[in-house]
Chain A
Amino acid sequence: MYKLTKFIKLGSLTLVGVLGVWLLRPPVDEAAVRKTEHGEKPADVRFNILFSPGWAYLPGSTPFGIGTPLKGLTGAIAEFEARFPDTHIEVVNTPGVREYLVTQLSSGRAPDIINVNVEDVWIDVQKGWYVALDPWLDEPNRFIREQGDPTQPGYDHWWDMFRYQAISRGKAAPDGLMYNLSYDMIETGIFYNKRIFEKVGVRVPANWEEFFAVMEKLQAAGYMPLLMSVDMFSDWGVDLVFDQLYYNLLPGIDLFKDPIREPYLQGYLDWDEICFLHDRGFFTRDDPRYVELWQHLRRLRKYVNKNLISTDLVREFVIKRAAMAWYASPLVYRLEADRALGFEWGVFYVPQFTATTSRFTSNTPMCVIGGAATQFEVTNSAFKDTGDPKTSPRLRRVMEFLQFLCVPEYYVRIVNEYPCLISNIVGVQSLPPLKPFAEILDRRYTTTKWVFTFDLRFSEIQRRMLELYLNDGIGLEGFLDWQERNLAAACANVVLRKGIDEARLRAAWDAQSAARAMMMELPDGAG
Chain B
Amino acid sequence: MAQARNLLFNHRLRFALTCYAFVLPTVMLLAVFVYLPVIWAFTKSLYEFEIGGDSRWVGLRNYVEFLTQDPTTFPSIANMLFLTFFAVAMRLTIPLIVAKLIYSLPEERGRHFYRIMFLIPIVVPGVAIQLIWLGLVYADAGLVNETLAALGLDAWQRGWLSDPNTALAAMAMIGFPFIGGIDVLIYYAGLASIPQSVHEAAWLEGCVRLSKFFRIDIPMVMSQLKLILILTIIGGVQSFEGVFIVTRGGPGFKTTVPGLWMYFNAFSFQRMGYACAIGVSLFIVIFGLTLLNLKYFKSAEQLEGR
Interface residues of A (CB under 8 A from B): 98-99, 102-103, 105-106, 123-124, 126-127, 129, 224, 230, 305-312, 316, 321, 455-457, 460, 463-465, 467-468, 470-474
Contact = CB atoms under 8 A, between A and B. Distances in A.
A471 B164 contact: yes
Contacts of B51: 102-103, 106
Contact of B140 (A102, A127, A305): A305
B52 A105 contact: yes
B162 A457 contact: no
A473 B164 contact: yes
Contact of A473 (B138, B246, B249, B252): B252
Contact of B159 (A99, A127, A307, A457): A307
A309 B52 contact: no
Contacts of A309: 161-162, 247-248, 250
9 contacts: A98-B267, A103-B51, A127-B53, A230-B251, A305-B140, A307-B159, A309-B161, A455-B270, A473-B163
A356 B247 CA distance: 37
How many interface residues does chain B have, given as a range?
20 to 34
A99 B139 CA distance: 28
Interface string B257-270: 00000001001111
B29 interface: no
Nearest to B256: A464
Nearest to A456: B268
A473 B250 CA distance: 11
Contact of B252 (A126, A308, A467): A467
A105 B161 CA distance: 35
A308 B141 contact: no
B252 A468 contact: yes
A173 B163 CA distance: 37
Contacts of A311: 139-140, 159
A463 B253 CA distance: 11
Given A306-B140, A455-B269, A471-B162, A460 B252 contact: no
B47 interface: no
A468 B164 contact: yes
A39 to B, nearest CB: 29
A127 B50 CA distance: 11
Contacts of A456: 268-270
Given A306-B159, A312-B135, 10 more contacts: A99-B268, A103-B51, A307-B140, A307-B160, A310-B139, A311-B139, A460-B268, A467-B251, A468-B252, A471-B164
Contacts of A457: 264, 268-269
Interface in B123-159: 134-135, 138-141, 145, 157-159
A312 B139 contact: yes
A106 B52 contact: yes
B44 interface: no
Given A308-B162, A309-B162, A456-B269, A468 B250 contact: yes
Nearest to B271: A457
A102 B253 CA distance: 25
A61 B80 CA distance: 40
Interface string B154-195: 000111111111000000000000000000000000000000
B254 interface: yes
Contacts of A463: 250
A457 B163 CA distance: 23
B159 A460 contact: no
A306 B158 contact: yes
Contact of B254 (A105, A224, A306, A473): A473
Given A312-B135, A316-B140, A473 B159 contact: no
B162 A306 contact: yes
B207 to A, nearest CB: 43
A316 B141 contact: yes
A471 B141 CA distance: 18
B161 A307 contact: yes
A500 to B, nearest CB: 19
A311 B250 CA distance: 15
Contacts of B268: 98-99, 456-457, 460
Interface in B233-285: 246-254, 264, 267-270
A470 B135 CA distance: 21
B52 A124 contact: yes
A307 B138 CA distance: 8
A310 B164 contact: no
